[in-house]
Amino acid sequence: MRCLKCKENAVIELRQHNASYCRTHFLSYFTNRVRQNIEHRRMFAPDDRILVAVSGGKDSLALWDVLLGLGFNASGLHLHLGIGEYSNLSLEKTRHFASSRGAELIEVNLAKEYGMGVTELSSKTGRVPCSACGQSKRYLFNKVALDRGFSVLATGHNLDDEAATLLGNVLSWQTQALARQSPVLPRTRPTLVKKVKPLYTLTERETALYCLLKRIDYVEDECPNALGAKSLLFKEVLNRLEENMPGVKQSFVKLFLKRIQPLLKSEQDVDVRDCAVCGQPTTREICAFCSLWQKALSGGVAYNASSGAQIEDRRID
């Protein structure tokens, strides 16, 4: 197996592109794909302040590394979600990367800031851990980016993530979710920060190899709460299809964005308002995050709306 560019020994074969690359040309290919995605989708400009949601996994660290290498003003945001040793290890990997690159890292500890981590939050509300986790991340990503003056929030969602999400939404015909599934979610109101996914055309296999070649130390294990998640099943199905039909994941996402999503514009028209508790955007009087925490804290801990949905460590008399 020879590199398409220089004919040296290749380190990876990309059947979906009918190409193989050596170390040097793979890293160039990976970086160029990210750059092209940014430019093609007009995700952000050189003068934008970018906040990268960094979990400590391969995708988000690879994205942060590429953006820093391209010269963008990119800071990291890590949420310590209180998922036992997994969260501690994730924080350790993220801090190590930030320190090695001299990059700014913003940390939010869910338990310290709001009173409990995802595991306890899930237990008290009866929500599955992934639901409580996802709700907390979506809320805090936007809130921190807004409060800190960042113009764009970037996440490490890759092609496998996007294809699996698309498959799940199609199987259940979640038309509003399909309408919102895009590499770019623009800022439609002052309380919403623009969200982008620069890795949406690159696979997990490619981000893993990028980290390996760049010697980026990342958390390799899946989150323990992800065991049995439907998204993993969807990825397995898509991987089996990809083995027999190279490029099927890429075509699935690309053609959806080109042919189907433009037809769903009416589903994007929703009544968005500011949450009566914290002021963040919501389609209801009280946002899902505040509702979740109110339910969790109904045992008597005060909920302080004026501080931006922070939790006061005191009892109600």
Q: 219 pLDDT exceeds 80?
A: yes
pLDDT for 299: 54
State yes or no: pLDDT of 314 exceeds 50.
Answer: no
> What is the reported pLDDT for 310?
34
Pairing verdict, β 49-53 and 281-282 = unpaired
Q: Amino acid letter at 135?
A: Q
Ordered by start, the domain boundaries in the chain are 40-270, 272-317
Q: What is the Cα–Cα distance from 87 to 23, expressed in whole angstroms?
A: 32
> What Cα–Cα distance (Å) separates residue 14 from each residue in 28, 33, 107, 162, 174?
14, 14, 36, 18, 32
User: Which residue carries 């895009």 as its tokens?
Assistant: 182
Strand pairing class (12-14; 310-315): unpaired
Compute φ and ψ for 34, nearest 5 degrees: -65, -45
What's the CATH code, domain 40-270?
3.40.50.620
N-to-C CA span, the chain: 72
Is residue 303 predicted with pLDDT exceeding 80? no
Share of the chain above pLDDT 90, in %: 84
Q: Is the dihedral of CA 294, 287, 148, 98 positive or negative?
A: positive
21-38 pLDDT per residue, tens:
999 999 999 999 999 999
At residue 39, the 3 state secondary structure works out as: helix
pLDDT classification of 315: cutoffs 50, 70, 90 = very low
For the segment 300-304, the average pLDDT, to the nearest whole number, is 40
Please tell me whether residue 76 adopts helix, strand or coil conformation. strand
Q: What was the pLDDT predicted at 298?
A: 81
Determine contact, residues 89/56, Cβ cutoff 8 Å. Answer: yes
What does the alpha-carbon distance between residue 132 and residue 123 come to, in Å, rounded to a whole number?
10
Closest CA to 214 of 8, 37, 31, 19: 31
- 184 beta partners: 196
Interstrand relation of 49-53 and 152-154 (parallel, antiparallel or unpaired):
parallel
Asked if residue 272 has pLDDT above 60, the reply is: yes
Highest average pLDDT, of 27-36, 188-197, 228-237, comes from: 27-36
Predicted confidence (pLDDT) at residue 211 exceeds the cutoff of 90 = yes
Q: What residues pair up with 21 in beta bridges, in sequence order?
A: 12
Average pLDDT over residues 144-165: 97
pLDDT digits (tens, 9 = 90+) for 42-59: 999 999 999 999 999 999
pLDDT single digits (tens) 75-124: 999 999 999 999 999 999 999 999 999 999 999 999 999 999 999 999 99
Are the C-beta atoms of 202 and 33 separated by less than 8 Å? Answer: yes
Among 9-18, 29-38, 280-289, name the one with the lowest average pLDDT: 280-289
SS3 231: helix
Q: Percent of the chain, pLDDT > 70?
A: 94
At 297 the pLDDT is 87
> In angstroms, rounded to a whole number, what is the distance separating the alpha carbons of residues 44 and 195?
10
CA atoms of 287 and 48, how far apart (whole Å)? 28
Residue 313, pLDDT above cutoff 60: no
Instruction: Give the mean pLDDT of the chain.
Output: 91
